[in-house]
Structure 1
Amino acid sequence: MRSGSTLTGEIFGQHPDVFYVFEPMHTLKWEWWSKRTRLSFFDQPPREVTSEADFAKTAKDIADGFLRCHPTKIDIATLSQHHLGKSKDTIPYKMCLKSKPGVMKMLDCLPILQKQCLDSKVSVIKTIRFPMEAVETMMKSNPSLKVIHLVRDPRPTIKSQISFGRDTWSNLDSYSKEHCLRVQKDLQVTKRLMKSHPDKTKLLLYEDLVVHPSRNAQDLFSFVGLAYTRETERFVQSKTNGSVDEHCVLCTQRLNSSRSALQWRKELDFNRARVIDANCKAVYQMLGYLPVNTATELKDLSKSLKIEKNL
């Protein structure tokens, strides 16, 4: 969350050959957090999700259902979630649900979702809730699967998450430890996949995307086998060098995305930055992020806090 995944997903979502699904694991994560762990399906018995392994398996099944155009394999709560109204490709299905309320009438709407998927060249899901270990498992059963692992500097990510209400500054030490341990674990899997499946695994740093948006967007499209069109280039430019700067926490359009991406350095307290630095050393070493030594260094935007480094 707050890593630039919505912008990255939108770049794919605007393409006419793409079936794009926004945050399909959202409901599963909330069910997990709230301990409501019994999921219902149309074509299988109810399932209990009581462990991390259960969560990963269910997340994989949800991803498979959307990517392979089998919506009946997806749990009913996920098929009902409001995030399906966030993509042009799933809005027609969501509108059908509104006109035909009730679980059983959902079956009348699922063919709409399936057709949108089947008619597309590439299916894309954007998610912040999917463990990379589950991706590794999926690759064994889905030879056409490709993954783009997006990562951002932990300092702006954590600052933005806390500002959004995910946790409190008083809990920064434990929160940043947990965050970076999770990122580190995912990166270790990605490093392994980049060796075993180099043509199917890509690591993307948010900072690279916003500094060189066109170059990186073209690279992403080449990676998944999509044509980079003039319309896509216009979309990328409108989002990263637009005429309007959207001032809201979840907005993605920026007058200057590279400048906006550095705004956190002016706003983050130095002592808080140092706490994150101390807890995220392993991630910094893997990706090339640099700790800060003084408050002046933190605020000095002429000094980069990133060196080039391959995972």
Structure 2
Amino acid sequence: MKRVVAFGIVCSAAILFLLVAYSKLSEDGLIRRGLTLTTGSGSTKESFLYRHQEDLLSNLTFPKQPTLTSAEALIDEASSDVSSSVDEGFVDIANIQKEVNEETTKRQNDNKPIVVVVLAQMRTGSSLVGEIFNQNPSIFYMFEPLHAVDSFIRHHSAAALRRQGLSISLLSMITKCKFTPEFIDSLSKWPLGKAKSSGFLPICKASDGCRHASHFLIEERCRAFGGRIGMKTIRADLNMLKPLVEKDKVNLKVIHLVRDPRGTANSRRSYYGDRRTKQQQMSRKGMSKPQVLPKMSLKTLGLLEENPRYHINTISKYCKWISENIPLARSRPSWLEDRYMFVRYEDLALNPVTVSEEIYDFVGLTMPRVIQEWLRNNTNQNNYQNRTFGMQKNSKEVMQSWRHSLPYEEVVQVQDICGSAMAIGGYKQVQRPSDLTNMSFDTLEPLF
């Protein structure tokens, strides 16, 4: 009898010990529905999510990478509520890595760390080029990460003098999958950036637009891609990328995208003109007589010359950017060897699938079939809606649209400012108004 009692006491003590140990482990965040949580510093007590979101997202690790169809679809998905996002189902890091690995084939870099940067300027087709990496489920893709620097400078104007240094530091951190709480806060306030970044989108969908997402969670998701990172930026130049190679030893690939300055000018004219018109219409509401709004020109919009309102977006700065960066690349600096590809938007628009395959060949990655399908579906729309950041456009028509909508006198103004940049990029100047409507007059020169 005594032996039975003693055995019972021992069993009870063992069970009590196991319960206490389990409670302690759960409390410290070590056991959470099968997911082991760690931080970069090795601490196990840091929570990936803010405390008031833990109950809602206790079973969230990493959502499956979505198959995207267009920028509009991304924006629609980003606006969905958390509950509908959770219903789609989640997988852990191991499953994400398994899916990434299954996408790879025999190419050398498919399973190796690689950072792809689409280097461009505003309204040059960079969103389209970025999408051929955003659509790739094996790449952690970011849309305009340097927007966070602009956001910081808007709140701390004195930091404008350190814009380049801040940008270089941020790019360096990103290549290491490091994200600060300030960066995530900036991202949470920018709907376009979230909607067009497949790297962030699943987490943002499940955390109230990333307003309650921890930077630790995003870092862990980034690392799950094995260092395969893609981004596009209109806020950098080649010199800002140099430290990534020389100091950080990053396996960098640069896609340097340019567009005919006349096409870029026409696109910016439409973008800023529409914004100005809407602002004027809002200010005139309630007036007894309808107001005739003056037609916006490049000059009245302040886009031809240096303008403090647009620190990177004037035509003069765009052409200066071309004139400085392309010759630098063609001088063949050692740090850029085998890392640089020059792409004209016009060549991509004429042959989107072929040029995209050439880009992937240069990068050394396999282009998934889904990207070919996406390009065919989104660059050959006969009846497209020309939304500002939409993807469903007939790229050939967009390429030539400036010849129909930019007045000849403004074409001449752009050519006067950008003559040398146009020559570098292989863009032929028009000499008379009839050249604009004569479509047999080719404005593209062969590059080689």
Greater Cα shift, 262-271 or 185-194: 185-194
Contact 1:11 1:217 in 2 (8 A): yes
SS in 2 for 1:150: strand
Partner of residue 41, structure 1: none
1:65-88 CA-to-partner distances (Å, cap 9, x unmatched) read: 223211139746545442133223
Quick check: 2:188–2:209 contact (8 Å CA) kept in 1?
no
Task: Report what 2:180 is aligned to.
Answer: 72
Q: Residues 244, 226 of structure 1: CA spacing in aligned structure 2 closer, same or farther, 3 A cutoff? A: farther
Which of 198, 203, 213 in structure 2 is aligned with 1:93? 203
| Matched residue type, 1:127 | T
1:190-209 correspondence to structure 2 within 5 Å: 190-193=329-332, 196-209=335-348
Larger Rg: 2
Deviations 1:97-132 (A, max 9, x none): 52785xxx65xx223312321122520011111122
Q: Does 1:29 align with 2:150?
A: yes
Gaps of 5+ in 1: 39-47
CA distance in 1, matches of 2:343, 2:252: 17
SS in 1 for 2:272: coil
Q: 1:244 to 1:118 in 2, by over 3 A?
A: farther
Q: Which amino acid aligns with 1:131?
A: D
The 2-side partners of 1:248 and 1:294 are apart by 31
The amino acid that maps onto 1:179 is Y
Residues 6, 126 of structure 1: 8 Å contact kept: yes
Q: TM (normalized to structure 2)?
A: 0.60
Secondary structure of residue in 2 paired with 1:204: strand
Counterparts of 1:242 and 1:267, CA distance in 2? 20
CA 14–173 in structure 1, closer or farther in 2 if over 3 Å, else same: closer
CA contact (8 A) 2:140 2:225 kept: yes
Contact 2:329 2:336 in 1 (8 A): no
What value does the CA root-mean-square deviation take over the aligned residues? 2.5
Q: What's the offset of the Cα at 1:186?
A: 2.5
- 8 Å CA contact 1:194, 1:202 repeated in 2: no
**Is 1:261 aligned to residue 399 of structure 2?**
yes
Q: What secondary structure sits across from 1:71 in the alignment?
A: coil
Aligned residues of 1:149 and 1:190 also touching (Cα < 8 A)? no
Q: CA deviation at 1:287?
A: 1.3
Task: Describe the SS at the equivalent of 2:255.
Answer: strand
Partner of 1:164: 271
State the AA in 2 paired with 1:197.
L
Change (3 A) 1:37 1:272: same
The 3 A distance-change label for structure 1 pair 70 and 27 is closer
- Is 1:60 the counterpart of 2:168? The answer is yes
1:96-245 superposed matches below 5 A = 97-98=207-208, 101=211, 106=213, 109-121=214-226, 122-141=228-247, 142-165=249-272, 169-170=298-299, 171-174=302-305, 175-193=314-332, 196-242=335-381, 245=384
Sequence identity, in percent?
24
- 1:259 to partner: Cα distance: 2.6
Range moving further from structure 2, 57-66 or 5-14: 57-66
Q: C-alpha separation between the residues in 2 aligned to 1:100 and 1:5?
A: 24
Distance 2:338 2:181 in 1: 28
TM-superposed CA distance for 1:30, in Å, is 4.4
CA distance in 1: counterparts of 2:370 and 2:183, whole angstroms? 35
Counterpart of 1:111, as a letter, is: F
Supply the distance in 1 between the matched residues of 2:207 and 2:340 (Cα, whole angstroms).
35
Deviation at 1:213, TM superposition (A): 0.9
Q: TM-score, normalization: structure 1?
A: 0.84
Deviation at 1:179, TM superposition (A): 2.7
Offset, 1:261: 1.2
2:148 maps to amino acid: T
Q: How does 1:15-54 map to 2 (within 5 A)?
A: 15-32=136-153, 34=154, 36-37=155-156, 49-51=159-161, 54=162
1:28 offset after TM fit, Å?
1.7
String of CA shifts for 1:192-221, please: whole Å, max 9, x gaps.
356652311111110111111111111111
State the Cα distance separating 1:243 from its structure 2 match: 6.4
Question: Which residue in the other structure is 1:43 paired with?
Answer: none
The separation in 2 between residues aligned to 1:218 and 1:199, in whole angstroms, is 17
- State the match for 1:295 in structure 2: 433
Deviation, structure 1 residue 191: 2.5
The CA deviation string for residues 262-284 of structure 1, in whole angstroms up to 9 with x for no partner, is 11111110010001001111111
What corresponds to 1:44 in structure 2?
A: none
Q: Secondary structure at the match of 2:250?
A: coil
